[in-house]
Amino acid sequence: MRKEIKFSGFGGQGIVLMGNIAARASAIYDGKNAIFTPSYGPEARGGAASSNVVISDDEIDYPYVTEPDVLVAMSQEAYEKYAPMLKDGGLLIIDEDLVKLKNGEGKVAKVPATKIAESLGKRIVANIVMLGFFTAVTKLISYEAIKKAVLESVPPKFKELNEEALDKGYERGKKVKDGKNGKMA
Amino acid sequence: MIKFYSGNIACAEGAIAAGCRFFAGYPITPSTEIAEHMALRLPQVGGIFIQMEDELASMAAILGASWGGMKAMTATSGPGLSLMQENIGLGAMTETPCVVVDVQRAGPSTGMPTLIGQADVMQARWGSHGDYEIIALSPSSPQECFDLTIKSFNLAEEYRVPVILLMDESVSHMSEKVIIPPKEKIKIVERKKPKVKPSEYLPFKADDYVPPMACAGEGYAVHVTGLTHDEKGYPQATSPEVQEKLVRRLCDKIRKNERKLRDIEEFEMEDAKLAIVSFGTTARSCKAAVKRARKRGYKVGLIRLRTIWPFADEYFEKIANEIKQFVVVEVNYGQIKLEVERCVGKKVHLLPKMGGEIHKPEEIYKKIKEVYNGN
Amino acid sequence: MEIEAETHPLDKYLRTDRIPHIWCPGCGLGTVLNCFLHALEESDIDLKNLAIVSGIGCTGRVAGYLNVDSYHTTHGRAIPFATGLKLANPKLKVVVFSGDGDLFAIGGNHFIHAARRNIDMTVICVNNYNYGMTGGQLGPTTPLEAKTTTSPYGNVEHPFNLCHVAAASGAVYVARWTALHVRRLKESMKEALNKKGFTFIEVIASCPTTYGRRNKMPTGLDTMRYYKEKSVIKHGIDPSEADIEIGGDIIVGKFVDIEKPTFDEILKKLEEKIK
């Protein structure tokens, strides 16, 4: 089954890296087909940033995301810009402190990714917290795969921090998935 | 080894794997990552990276490096390819092996620097003045960016001609699995060298269209000129006979080898009544559309051109009768369409796009239905 | 009985089967080439590793007469071609031989950047004040008020002072001579050939056919007389003070001779570092 995922937020949050890690994890470590396409160029630098991933067990022909099954939004602007693209019945994942929902949402999963990152001492790893959360909630990528892809993407001295960030997000996601900590709305 | 590469990085890695040890270039979107990656990689393998002052210089430098004995490459996009044309002509005339990567963006002029176009097809073929032939290949995936870059170097060496790798912005920036074979499994072609003494060597005499090449410092004291030249390499700029012989050979060495150079992927073509013709990233959308149409009983197939130039005239002439209708899908206003039409001798349908995005499978599927049902 | 022709001692440097050359009577190019052959004869240069690169124009034809690896490229692009050639095969001694229009108008950008990078090559520019091959149009060195086919009422453009351009761009060796100064020119060529880095020699040479006859110097001899009368040797002078004007002194000499690491030397060091 073809699944389309859009990661979005603002410049500097590591949105492009999120997409790259997710697609690489799926393609290399889960052995699926996966494509990553970044938003690109000067127009992509300011304002809402996004990166796109398609995952499939079959050959992927059309490479772009047009109707995401999952939209990850880490800023209000990104949420407002991309939420209308979300597929009917698709899942919206937000950083609950950065995105205020408007009415009429379908499935939503919330995580205080930036706050969790701050509690680890580095706000910069909010994207990795979010990746952990995304992995647990969607199960589109295996935990082992995302972990390998994260660890090979960061400099050695930040491995521990990123592993912790990933795990915190993942645990949080599992709880949400199991309905223990604020069900998926 | 499995890597997760963008098309641009896969292209640069393909070049290194092919033995490219010289890169001269000038930054231009959307090809810049190729130069950046070569700047990172070449010093690690004893190669040379130089950022030149413009594309005119970049093209001249890779010709010089090729005569200096190295496999050389440059990478650019539309506006840069325009500037390179004069020395692509020198490369064709002096039979200098080299690879020019053109990551196509939407033009004309500055156009849409960050978005796809496929409108450099004719420029790749006819961009420099005079009669000459060139080889151009077009990849549809990062894997093919790797594979076809290696192939470009091999063909450049075998035929002694600049080879243009016609990538597009979409394939250059998408990342996908790329399988890198072990070194010993990669076929590498080297240019033919002279086996005779310098006194007996005629640098532009070819027995099979392609003369052996002596580089600078090898003791052959070769004269190389962009002027019309005889087999000795000496200018004969007022002899129509020498011009006739030279230009015929330069063109025929590619034309007469078209069948060998042909590289076409056929998909669902066995019983097809309608054929989609496409290349580059756009062909991926076409494949999705063909799959959808097949599910609904349309006898549709896809002809994907991996070799664009020389054009597969004979191939299209042969299938012209079996295939009722041709639809060319390309991100331009009908460049390959003209070629297909020329070969099949009947009207060919076109689904163009002016640039900035590739066709969505739905659009192509709709066109298939329209043409198939004769609406 | 066959009579064996006596060969000239410098014939070994020439593609004698291409002589006679295409240059006009009274042209300075033959003299300059002659000086170059003598410079080769008197230096210790391995001909196997000597490569000559030219652009387009009358001087551009020099490459075709030398019996070494020689490349006659496109208009203005001799220097970037030579850059690739030299970097790909560092054993080569690369000499660019071309004209003022080729090197400083259409190829001006390449000249300044190769000098800036200090690419190890010798550039010999034969400056005849005009485009000779195409019939005598104004060029980047045509003196103010000089008459050419595209400045029939006199040139309204200020010319380049080539030595000033070369020095300002970073050349490690800069000299200027006229085609009259054959011995000094030859010595300069020897110096430049034996020096590492971007070395530059400007040779002012006559072009009676397309420039001289429109500017009161209808024969090569007239021009030589003019050089004799106007040339002033000033070694070490700041090249910015060596502008060329009609009727003014022609300041010649060696202006710059400095040491600076070359592109390939710096690159070698970098390669060692990242190994």
Contact yes or no for A37 and B174 at CB 8 A: yes
Find which of B1, B176, B302 to mutate to test the A interface (most A CBs within 10 Å of its CB): B176
Structure tokens at B322: 């079996």
Contact yes or no for B57 and C70 at CB 8 A: no
| Per-residue pLDDT tens over the stretch C164-178 | 999 999 999 999 999
**Could you say which of C48, C83, C109 has the minimum Cβ distance to residue B54?**
C109
Domains located in chain A, CATH noted: 3-177 (3.40.920.10)
Task: Show the DSSP H helices in chain A as ranges.
Answer: 15-24, 42-45, 76-82, 113-119, 126-138, 143-153, 159-177
Other CB atoms within 10 Å distance of the CB of residue B375:
6
**Mean pLDDT of all residues in C73-97:** 98
Torsion sign (Cα): B27, B30, B31, B36: positive
Say if C68 is an interface residue toward chain B (CB within 8 Å): yes
Flag whether B touches C (3+ CB pairs, 8 A cutoff).
Answer: yes
- What is the residue type of A73? A
Confidence band, pLDDT 50/70/90 cuts, at residue C3: low
Measure the CA–CA gap between B282 and B139, rounded to whole angstroms: 10
Among candidate residues B176, C78, B124, C59, the one with its CA nearest the CA of residue A23: B176
- pLDDT exceeding 70 applies to what percent of chain C? 98
Residue C36 lies in a domain: yes
Q: Check if the beta carbon of residue A87 is closer than 8 Å to that of residue A56.
A: no
Q: In the 3-class helix/strand/coil scheme, how is C65-91 assigned residue by residue?
A: HECCEEEECCCCCHHHHHHHHHHHCCC
Say if A136 is an interface residue toward chain B (CB within 8 Å): no
Measure the CA–CA gap between C90 and A116, rounded to whole angstroms: 57
Residue C42 lies in a domain: yes
Q: Looking at residue A182, what is its pLDDT?
A: 52
Q: Looking at residue B21, what is its pLDDT?
A: 98
**Mean pLDDT of all residues in C130-148:** 96
C241: exposed, middle or buried (Cβ count in 10 Å: 0-12, 13-18, 19+)? exposed
Say if B304 is an interface residue toward chain A (CB within 8 Å): no
**Could you say which of C70, C84, C263 has the minimum Cβ distance to residue B72?**
C84
Average pLDDT score, chain C? 96
| Per-residue pLDDT tens over the stretch A101-133 | 987 678 999 999 999 999 999 999 999 999 999
CATH for C40: 3.40.50.970
The architecture in CATH of the region B2-185 reads 3-Layer(aba) Sandwich (3.40)
- Lowest mean pLDDT across A150-154, A180-184, B97-101: A180-184
Per-residue pLDDT at A183 exceeds 70: no
C103 or A102, which is more confident: C103
Per-residue pLDDT at A93 exceeds 70: yes
Other CB atoms within 10 Å distance of the CB of residue C170:
18
Find which of B224, B232, B236 to mutate to test the C interface (most C CBs within 10 Å of its CB): B224
Pick the residue from chain B with its C-alpha nearest to C19: B234
Measure the CA–CA gap between A172 and A84, rounded to whole angstroms: 26
- How many separate domains does chain C show? 1
Residue C16 lies in a domain: no
Among candidate residues C41, C90, C103, C44, the one with its CA nearest the CA of residue C66: C41
- pLDDT exceeding 90 applies to what percent of chain C? 95
| Start-end of CATH 3.40.50.970 domains in chain B | 2-185
Torsion of CA C135, C137, C139, C145, to 10 degrees: 130
Q: Which domain holds residue C42?
A: 23-274
| Per-residue pLDDT tens over the stretch C187-203 | 999 999 999 999 999 99
| Start-end of CATH 3.40.50.920 domains in chain B | 264-372
Measure the CA–CA gap between C47 and C37, rounded to whole angstroms: 11
Pick the residue from chain A with its C-alpha nearest to B175: A36
**pTM confidence score:** 0.96
**Could you say which of C68, C71, C274 has the minimum Cβ distance to residue B67?**
C71
Find which of C81, C83, C106, C263 to mutate to test the B interface (most B CBs within 10 Å of its CB): C81
Q: Check if the beta carbon of residue C189 is closer than 8 Å to that of residue C35.
A: yes
Measure the CA–CA gap between C64 and C53, rounded to whole angstroms: 9
All chains having 3 or more CB pairs closer than 8 angstroms to chain A = B
Structure ipTM over 0.90, yes or no: yes
Say if A85 is an interface residue toward chain B (CB within 8 Å): no
Q: Looking at residue B333, what is its pLDDT?
A: 98
Pick the residue from chain B with its C-alpha nearest to C94: B216
Domain B264-372 annotated CATH 3.40.50.920: yes
Residues of chain B with pLDDT under 50: none
Q: Looking at residue A39, what is its pLDDT?
A: 82
Q: Looking at residue C188, what is its pLDDT?
A: 98
